[in-house]
Amino acid sequence: MTVHPLHTDDAPSPPQERPDTASAYDSTWTEQPNTQPPDDLEQVMLADGKIYVVLAVVLIIWAGLIALMVRTDRRIDRLERRIDDTGSEDTRQ
């Protein structure tokens, strides 16, 4: 009795480690000419699996919200000053 070997094509493929869409992006976006050696800033940002990129993004958002708060605060100041000015005029009259 002859044993027909299973065609090798059907051999179980290695478990897929990442979704297919990622490979599409990999092929498109890895081919950037990598000409320069990593500079100091890159060495910091790329350490520990690029977690510092996330930190930078969160800090940018944080800074933006604080800047917004300062602007609103300044607006309130102006409004208060206007009310104060008119108040002092009232007492003079």
Partner 1 sequence: MSTSSSPVVPPRVYRLVQGAVFLVLTGVIVAGFLGSIPQLDILEQSARNLYFHVPMWFTLMGATILSAYHSVRYLQTGDRLRDIRAREAAWLALIFGLLGIVTGMVWARFTWYVGTGKWWNFDPKQSMAAVLLLIYGAYFVLRDSIEDRDTRGRIAAVYNLFAVVTMPFLLYIIPRQLPSLHPGGEGSPAFSQTDLAPAMRWVFYPSVLGFLGLFWLLYTQRVRLAWLRDQLRDEPDL
In the complex, the residues that contact partner 1 under the rule CB under 8 A are 18-22, 24-26, 28-30, 32-39, 42, 45-46, 48-54, 56-58, 60-61, 64-65, 68, 72, 75-76, 79, 82-83, 86
CB of 10 to partner 1, least distance (A): 24
**Exposure of 76 in the CB half-sphere (CA atoms within 13 A):** 6
| 38, 46 contact by CB (below 8 A) | yes
Cβ closest to partner 1, residue 9 vs residue 48: 48
CB of 53 to partner 1, least distance (A): 4
Residue 63, CA distances (Å) to 14, 67, 92 in order: 45, 6, 44
